[in-house]
Every structure is written in C-alpha cells, then in structure tokens.
C-alpha cells in the first residue's frame, strides 16, 4: 500500500480489505501526508510496517501516533521480521 495522500476514506477501505483477507502484515510505502491519517489504521488487525515518502508533512507526529498503535515505523528505509524488503516511495539512485 502506498500514496494515501490524505484520503482517509480509501485508507479505511483498504484496512477493511486487509482485515477481510486476514493478511499477515501490511507494508505502507509512504506518502500518508498528514498525521490525521494514522487514525484510519486503528482497526487494522495485521502488523503495520511503514516507510516515509517524500510528502509526509509532519514525520515526528506521524511516527509518534503510529508507535502508540504498535506500528513499525522504519523511517526512510527499514526491515521487518528477518527479511530486508526495499519499499521506496520515491526513486533511490545508486
């Protein structure tokens, strides 16, 4: 999942879909944009792992609120479980 861009209704629909499918984890590749979107994930039953995109307006608050919900906030790059999964929201150049 990625590029939520302040669309709280779609976030909630995605959460309902993930819960219905009983997914084992959800990865968000960034661009939530505003902290208020965090509340859209409240009902998510699976663990959430997210990286920041290039449009997060308040990373500090987004991280704080997600951590309170038990999410794994990886910053710009991170791992979950024992695997390294690269999920960029914007192009990385090597």
In tens, the pLDDT along 49-81 reads 998 888 888 999 999 999 999 999 988 877 666
pTM, two decimal places: 0.82
Burial of 93 from C-beta contacts in 10 A (0-12 / 13-18 / 19+): exposed
pLDDT band at 90 (very low <50, low <70, confident <90, very high): low
What is the spatial distance between Cα 45 and Cα 78, in angstroms, rounded to a whole number? 21
pLDDT at residue 36 greater than cutoff 60: yes
Q: Which residues contact 73 (CB under 8 A, 6 or more apart)?
A: 50, 62, 63, 66, 67
Strands 72-73 vs 48-50: parallel, antiparallel or unpaired: parallel
Which pLDDT value is given to residue 94?
45
Average pLDDT, the chain: 86
In tens, the pLDDT along 3-14 reads 999 999 999 999
């Amino acid at each position: 999942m990625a590029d939520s861009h302040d669309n709280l209704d779609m976030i909630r629909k995605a959460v309902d879909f993930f819960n219905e499918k009983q997914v084992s984890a959800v990865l968000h590749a960034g661009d939530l944009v505003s902290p208020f979107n965090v509340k859209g994930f409240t009902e998510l039953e699976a663990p959430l792992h997210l990286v920041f995109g290039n449009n997060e307006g308040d990373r500090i608050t987004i991280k704080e609120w997600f951590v309170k919900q038990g999410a794994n906030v990886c910053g710009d790059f991170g791992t979950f479980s024992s695997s390294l999964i690269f999920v960029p929201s914007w192009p990385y150049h090597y």
